[in-house]
Each structure stands twice: as structure tokens, then as C-alpha cells.
């Protein structure tokens, strides 16, 4: 069992789906976990349900707010060991149908939001010269996906944030990795048609869609000392879908 006793962790977008499962996995390993979401009441409710220390309101598109929340968590708990930049949105459309407001919302949330979170985490971890950050990329960011050009491009950028930040922060003792999930059963993918689900299951060697817990367990591994020499990696969690 991974031991995160005494560690302090922050998970953005921890109110449901992969984020909430990650909060539960980190709590189970003994970490003190703070989760965030855009709505304060929802964040508090999720924190109580998952055994987290707190649920805070935070929109990751707001760089100043991200910095304030991350600094606040580090100050209140005296340290910040783990940050999971999980908050993300998906607004799929064929190329010719992509709306301009979807472009700005997706890039602001997925790319700028992840960048703000990694920046703030690095600042908070730098002083103690230790820490681990995980960002949420996607297999579509690596391989592309028809009807998902905008989302896939944003996730390619997210993976690259992990690579560049890993190079920059390694000497400060901070590891940065990305996970690249396949199709995971959450609100984000709830709109997939039955045919699309069946097609994905058929193409997946492990014969099922992913569960939030599948991703959470991989994130828990990456942030733990079990992965002490792992940085700058993009770990696929897709049941073999891309093979």
C-alpha cells in the first residue's frame, strides 16, 4: 500500500469523476487532501464525502485565485507535497463547427488553468526542494481524434507542460508527470453514444471502459515515493486502447 502519511495534497476539479476518485485514493494512503471546484458548496460537499481536509472554490482560469489558494493551502498546512492539476473541460465538435467561445473556454481551462496550477505549485514547493505534480493529459492529445481537434490540441499542450516543467524543476527536487487516460466513465464522457462506447470497448484489449479509480491509482503511484525517479513521463491509462 502506498504511504502518503504526513503529506499534503491539492487536487483541482476534485468535486467528481477522476478528481474525486484521486482525492479518495490520496486520503486512503494517509495524505491530508484539499480539493477545489468552481462552486464552494459543491466543493465542501465533495470534501466531506471523500474525507478531505477542505473543499474550496477555485476557477483555474483565474491565475491570481490559483496562486492565492495554493499559497493558502501551503501556509495553513505548513507544506505542500502533491498537486494534481485535474480540472478540465471537453467541448467536442467537427472542425467546421467549433465555436469561438468553445476555443477560449477550452484553452483557458485546460491549458492556461493547468499552467497556472503548475506555476503556483512550483512556487510553493521550491522552498522545500521537494514535491510531485501530476497533470491530466489524454490519449487523444498524443494520437488525435476526429471531432475532438480542439480538446485534443489542448491536451497535447497539457502533456507538454509536464515535459518542460519536469526539465525546469528537476534540480529543485520537484517531479512533474502527466497521465493520459483513454475513455473513462465520468460526466465528461456521459454523452457518448452507445455505438461509440461499444466501439471503444471493442478496440480496448482489456475489454471495458476505464473507471475513475483506474486513473486515481496511477496518479497515486506517480505522486508517491514509489515513483521517486520518475519525471517527465506521460503515462497511458487506457486498457491498451491505443495499441
- Number of helices (H) and strands (E) in the chain: give both, helices first: 9, 7
Q: Which is nearer to ligand NDP, 60 or 165 (CB)?
A: 60
d(CA 59, CA 66): 7
- The vertex-208 CA angle with 205 and 214, nearest 5°, equals 100
The single residue among 2, 28, 30, 38 that binds ligand NDP, judged by CB under 6 A, is 38
The single residue among 3, 39, 168, 226 that binds ligand NDP, judged by CB under 6 A, is 39
Does residue 82 contact residue 89 with C-beta atoms inside 8 Å? Answer: no
Q: Which is nearer to ligand NDP, 174 or 184 (CB)?
A: 184
Residue numbers annotated as active site: 151
Total residues contacting ligand NDP (rule CB under 6 A)? 31
The C-alpha cell of 65 is what? 485565485
Looking at residue 57, the DSSP 8-state letter turns out to be: E
Query: According to the binding rule CB under 6 A, does residue 124 interact with ligand NDP?
Result: no
Q: Which is nearer to ligand NDP, 6 or 240 (CB)?
A: 240
Query: According to the binding rule CB under 6 A, does residue 15 interact with ligand NDP?
Result: yes
Name the CA radius of gyration of the chain, rounded: 17
d(CA 73, CA 77): 6
The single residue among 42, 79, 123, 203 that binds ligand NDP, judged by CB under 6 A, is 42
Residues that bind ligand NDP (CB under 6 A): 12-13, 15-19, 37-39, 42, 58-61, 86-90, 109, 113, 136, 138, 181, 183-184, 186-189
Amino acid at each position: 500500500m502506498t504511504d502518503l502519511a504526513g503529506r499534503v495534497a491539492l487536487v483541482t476539479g476534485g468535486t467528481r469523476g477522476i478528481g474525486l476518485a484521486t482525492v479518495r485514493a490520496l486520503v486512503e494512503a494517509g495524505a491530508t487532501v484539499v480539493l477545489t471546484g468552481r462552486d464552494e458548496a459543491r466543493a465542501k460537499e465533495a470534501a466531506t464525502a471523500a474525507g478531505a481536509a477542505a473543499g474550496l472554490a477555485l476557477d483555474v482560469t483565474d491565475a491570481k485565485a490559483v496562486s492565492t489558494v495554493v499559497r493558502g493551502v501551503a501556509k495553513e498546512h505548513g507544506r505542500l507535497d502533491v498537486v494534481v492539476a485535474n480540472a478540465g473541460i471537453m467541448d467536442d465538435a467537427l472542425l467546421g463547427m467549433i465555436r469561438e467561445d468553445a476555443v477560449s473556454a477550452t484553452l483557458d481551462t485546460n491549458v492556461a488553468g493547468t499552467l497556472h496550477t503548475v506555476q503556483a505549485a512550483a512556487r510553493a514547493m521550491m522552498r522545500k526542494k521537494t514535491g510531485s505534480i501530476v497533470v491530466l493529459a489524454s490519449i487523444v492529445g498524443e494520437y488525435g481524434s476526429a471531432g475532438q481537434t480542439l480538446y485534443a490540441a489542448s491536451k497535447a499542450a497539457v502533456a507538454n507542460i509536464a515535459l518542460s516543467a519536469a526539465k525546469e524543476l528537476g534540480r529543485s527536487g520537484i517531479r512533474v508527470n502527466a497521465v493520459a487516460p483513454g475513455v473513462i466513465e465520468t460526466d465528461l464522457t456521459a454523452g457518448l453514444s452507445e455505438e461509440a462506447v461499444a466501439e471503444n470497448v471493442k478496440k480496448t484489449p482489456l475489454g471495458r471502459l476505464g473507471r475513475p479509480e483506474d486513473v486515481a491509482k496511477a496518479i497515486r503511484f506517480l505522486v508517491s515515493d514509489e515513483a521517486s525517479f520518475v519525471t517527465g513521463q506521460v503515462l497511458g491509462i487506457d486498457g491498451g486502447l491505443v495499441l
